[in-house]
Amino acid sequence: MSLFRKSLASLGIGAAKVDTVLQRDVLIPGEALPVSIHVHGGETAQAVSNIHLFLCCRYEEEVASSRGDSQHRTEKVSQTCTLATWSLPEAFTIEVGEERLFDAELALPFNTPITIGDAKVWLETHLDIPLAFDPKDKDILTVRPDPLMDGVFTALEQAGLRIRQVECEAADGFELPFVQEFEFVPVSGPFHGRWRELEVVAYRDSDGLQLWFEVDRRLNGLSGMLSGFLGRGELKRQCHVPATTCPQQAGEMILDYLDQAT
């Protein structure tokens, strides 16, 4: 029976299970994410080589597409980026019916995507069990803007701009393989009638917040303006907000900059 149970456990039947509990419901880039990892023993003892945590998100990348003709085409492909990882420093054995608890902490990178629009961020937990099915757990995370970005978003909203679309696009020259792009439309306020849309790319580091802007004044507009610039490294109209700036001042700085630059 023991051998039979071990065989079933190797297929994931009656095997150990893992459940990760987040200690915070709302996360902010640049801060720590504390978690508790609960490992529940199954119907047979199992050796666990490691526990791995992966903080992940998706982004879009344009790749060449071949359809059997001479025309050059591109298509958007969804890619997964691992933002941060954590591993247990030692192996252990989980006995029948045993429960074990491990505490871990992941540092969220400054440029972890804000989870609005199509942006998704999740935490995967893997039990590494040799020669067996590896139990997994997946938790969807809620990521809100850090204070500087929140100050900028608040100011744009108060100026009559509304977020229409948010995308994570592949880009070179940054710490991560992508940047997050925010598309705004003016529905009232000083920019209504002057612009059709505003696209913003934000990049955060310990020195502060770097922002790039592209304004479309034409009636028919262009979709994904910044994604084209990103691929050629031609982003312009950039503004740097120092890390020591208070959120309200950050928002005022951006509005003044946009008013003068456009």
Domain ranges of the chain: 2-143, 147-261
Q: Report the predicted TM-score, pTM, of the whole model to 2 decimal places.
A: 0.82
Token digits of residue 98: 């045993």
3-class state of residue 118 by DSSP: coil
What's the pLDDT at 226? 52
Contact 22, 143 (CB under 8 A): no
Q: What kind and span of H or E run contains 9?
A: helix 2-10
CATH, domain range 2-143:
2.60.40.640
Contact 82, 104 (CB under 8 A): no
141 strand-pairing partners: 121
In residues, how long is the chain? Answer: 262
How far apart are alpha carbons 166 and 178 in whole angstroms?
Answer: 13
CB atoms within 10 A of CB 4: 11
Query: For each of the chain's 262 residues, which pLDDT tens digit applies?
Result: 354 344 334 434 447 899 999 998 789 999 999 999 999 988 888 899 999 999 999 999 988 776 666 666 778 899 999 999 999 888 999 999 899 999 999 999 999 999 988 889 999 999 998 865 667 899 999 999 999 999 999 999 999 999 999 999 999 888 899 999 999 999 999 988 888 899 999 999 889 999 999 888 764 444 454 545 554 444 456 899 999 999 999 999 999 999 886 6
What's the pLDDT at 230? 52
Rg value, the chain, Cα: 23
Task: Mention every residue, 6+ apart, whose C-beta is less than 8 A from residue 11.
Answer: 132, 133
What's the pLDDT at 248? 96
Token digits of residue 239: 């503004």
